[in-house]
Amino acid sequence: MKDDFGNDFISISDDDGNTYELEHIDTIEVDDEYYLAFLPADMDKDSEDYGFVILKMIEGEGDENYFVVPDDDVIDDIYDRFMERLYDEDEDDI
């Protein structure tokens, strides 16, 4: 999803109609399913409380839909995979 202009941004709405602007930072594929990591677009960049958001992408009829992962074990596994990739990239920059 990254291009020459930086990360992608998406707007999502919850079941209560609240809209959130998220910045896409990474995507991983696990067992033929795609999980995307986001940060809130209005986040204070100096804050250590990043508010990391992981959503599962399901494609349907030409569009992408994003869903919260309800299984705690799955979300923990996906989170660990994202953190591993993030730290691996940091080490490569050294």
* pLDDT, tens only, 17-54: 989 899 999 999 999 999 999 988 877 666 666 678 99
Mean residue pLDDT of the chain comes to 83
**How much is the pTM?**
0.76
- Cβ atoms < 10 Å from Cβ of 40: 14
Report the share of the chain in percent with pLDDT over 70: 79
Given this model, what pLDDT does residue 59 score? 87
pLDDT at res. 45: 65
Residue 62 φ then ψ, to 5°: 85, 0
Chain centre distance of CA 76: 13
Domain boundaries of the chain, sorted by first residue: 9-92
pLDDT at 63: 87
